Structure 1
Amino acid sequence: MSLQSQMLALVLVFVFMGSCPYMAAPPGEPDDEAFDLENYDLNNEMDWEKLDLFGNIYEYDDLDQEFEVGTVAPETPPPANEHTAEHYEAEGTLPTPPLAPVTLDFKGPDIFGPETGLGMPICLLCVCIGGSVYCDDIGLDQIPVLPKDTTHFYGRFNKIRHVKNTDFINLNKLQSIDLTGNQISGMDEDVFRSLLQLQELLLADNNLQVMPELPITMKHIDLRNNRLISHGVHSEGFKDMSQLEFLYMSNNNLDYIPTPLPLSLRVLHLQNNNIQSLHEDTFCNLHDRNFIRSNLEDIRLDGNPLNINLFAKAYVCLPRLPVGSQ
């Protein structure tokens, strides 16, 4: 190599090293081999086109591969005929999807029960739990139409004045009716006749003068605090009720005890009536001196114009004396 060529190479090296500190050897640690001018050849097989400013050599094929892997595909612009969220935000409105029409069907008897005269299903107006229907203190002025599977009906503290013979029709499972605290003054004669499963009838605190005919399946009858008169109670009306245990007729206008009474009776409350006398066969059997009415243990006759000491033969068959004035 000529002296001129060597000088040119040396100048290029110093210029290049001054602009690229990364290629300069650390201070105090010169690299004699790297800067051996005797071995430095500009004609070396170095591809100057692949040399970057820092002296690194890149293979463009590798760069292409790295670019392909790390590049995110450009977003596809939305079709011209479709609106984007930015469009709606700019307009100040957002699209609302159409709602399916919602309808409520309250006519299903298995869910809500039949409709009442007020235009409402009975099990929305009242409370239905199993076979029990609770319609207490909701201002009813008539018996509502009840589901056919009703077993217990509670219509207490309403404004019912009359009970019709169609009010409980086809209710073959009905066992209990509680109409306490209404204003009932009359009932159709055969209103309860078709209720062959009825066992409990509670009509306390009403204005009844006449007791309707009741089925023989009765176990519990409550007619307290009415205006019942003796002629309004059917003759022998309780005779065939072989399951009757509780009979409450206190605070009425009865003149005598409605006999004969079934042997199943356990409680008889007749206090605060107008009973003045007893018959020997009111509780006992005149034809059988050994007869004992063992079930009847609670008799209330107090509050009547009756001296029970005068009718000792009327209750010699009883396990316990009646409660009354002496």
Structure 2
Amino acid sequence: FPYIQQMALHAAVLTVALLGSYCGAPPVDPSSYDLKNYDVDSDTWDSYGELYDYDDLDEEVIGTLAPPPSVTQPPSPVVHKHSTQEVTLPPSPTMPAVPPTLDFLGPGLFGPGTGLGMPTCLLCVCISGSVYCDDADLTQVPPLPKETTHFYARFNKLTEVKSKDFLNLNQLKRIDLTGNQISALDEDAFRSLPQLQDLLLADNSLQVLPELPDTMRHIDVRNNRLRSAGMHREAFKEMKDLQFLYLSDNQLDYIPVPLPDSLRVLHLQNNNIQSLNQDTFCNSHDINYVRKALEDIRLDSNPVDISRYTQAYVCLPRLPVGSPY
């Protein structure tokens, strides 16, 4: 292998020569080195090392290095005092729509139609069985709690009363619909109410009065357009507890007889009543009959001369108030 060793030696010498020329060392003749003197001439290598101070090289290199680039932080966002920041919230869960399944005709808290709109006790005022819906711009009777005993819906915009409006309200005692625009009443709108006592329908546009339960005590239909033909024959005969009957300011042609003995007040002024008969208030077959309860009768502003019917008042504790046109 002498040839291979010789070639390796020449390559090493050539490399040293190149390095020496790069560092400022004098050139070296590669032919002056062989295997015999390769390790002997160590002084030559030492002289090369003394030609350049590597400590100076480190100082020069370090001194000429560029400073590290400064890191610029992004400016902090400025939030103005009156600015608002938009925040996206996660969508709220939506509940699936559930159709109403209440049995409005069966037992429950509310009457028919409940659940189809705003509960009545949020729209009106409910206190201990009384429901107050006065001046609430109602156009129809709202669904009422089944425990309702008194219902007030005065000064609204009602135009009719249907039979379903008071269905299953078995504890209802008083209905006050004064000051509406009611012109139509279903025939059985009130007949099925077993405890109804007071019905106030004054200041409406009624021409017909439907059949009422026999439990009535107070009926007020003043200032309507009620005609005698629009009332049931003997409409008040079986009302054994009726005490107050207000029929003034209508278009009645005669007094609706017979009247129950319990009646205390009868107002018929401003109608079209033209005559009386002996049995209107009394009993012509019983000269001892006395109607003690009826103390307030008004027939004024009717085309009837009450002075001509003296026999019609003999059973009364007081004479009626009235004068002809």
TM-score by length of 1: 0.66
> 1:319 aligned to 291, 314, 317, which one?
317
What SS is found at the alignment partner of 2:199? strand
Q: What is the RMSD computed on CA atoms of the aligned residues?
A: 3.2
Aligned 8 A contact 1:114 1:121 in 2: no
> 1:244 aligned to 235, 242, 246, which one?
242
Letter in 2 for 1:169: L
| Percent of paired sites with the same residue | 67
Matches within 5 A, 1:48-197: 115=114, 119-197=117-195
**CA distance in 2 between partners of 1:138 and 1:165 (Å):** 22
1:178-207 superposed Cα distances (whole Å, 9 cap, x missing partner): 000011001110111110100000000000
1:162-188 superposed Cα distances (whole Å, 9 cap, x missing partner): 111111000000000000001100111
**CA distance in 2 between partners of 1:323 and 1:116 (Å):** 51
Deviation at 1:315, TM superposition (A): 1.0
Aligned 8 A contact 1:148 1:171 in 2: yes
Paired positions, count: 234
Query: 1:217 maps to what in 2?
Result: 215
**CA distance in 2 between partners of 1:136 and 1:232 (Å):** 28
- Which structure 1 residue ranges, 5 or more long, are not aligned? 1-91
Query: 1:206 maps to what in 2?
Result: 204
Query: 1:263 maps to what in 2?
Result: 261
**CA distance in 2 between partners of 1:188 and 1:153 (Å):** 18
What SS is found at the alignment partner of 2:309? helix
What SS is found at the alignment partner of 1:124? helix
Query: 2:288 maps to what in 1?
Result: 290
Aligned 8 A contact 1:116 1:122 in 2: no
What SS is found at the alignment partner of 2:245? strand
Moved beyond 3 Å, runs of 4+:
107-111, 113-117
Aligned 8 A contact 1:246 1:266 in 2: yes
Letter in 2 for 1:265: L
1:263-309 superposed Cα distances (whole Å, 9 cap, x missing partner): 00000000000000001000000110010000000000001001101
**CA distance in 2 between partners of 1:116 and 1:238 (Å):** 38
Letter in 1 for 2:247: M
Query: 1:89 maps to what in 2?
Result: none
**CA distance in 1 between partners of 2:191 and 2:295 (Å):** 30
Deviation at 1:115, TM superposition (A): 4.1
Letter in 1 for 2:301: G
- Which structure 2 residue ranges, 5 or more long, are not aligned? 1-78, 80-84, 103-107
What SS is found at the alignment partner of 2:266? strand
Aligned 8 A contact 2:163 2:189 in 1: yes
What SS is found at the alignment partner of 2:164? coil
Inter-CA distance 114–163: structure 2 relative to 1 (3 Å threshold): closer
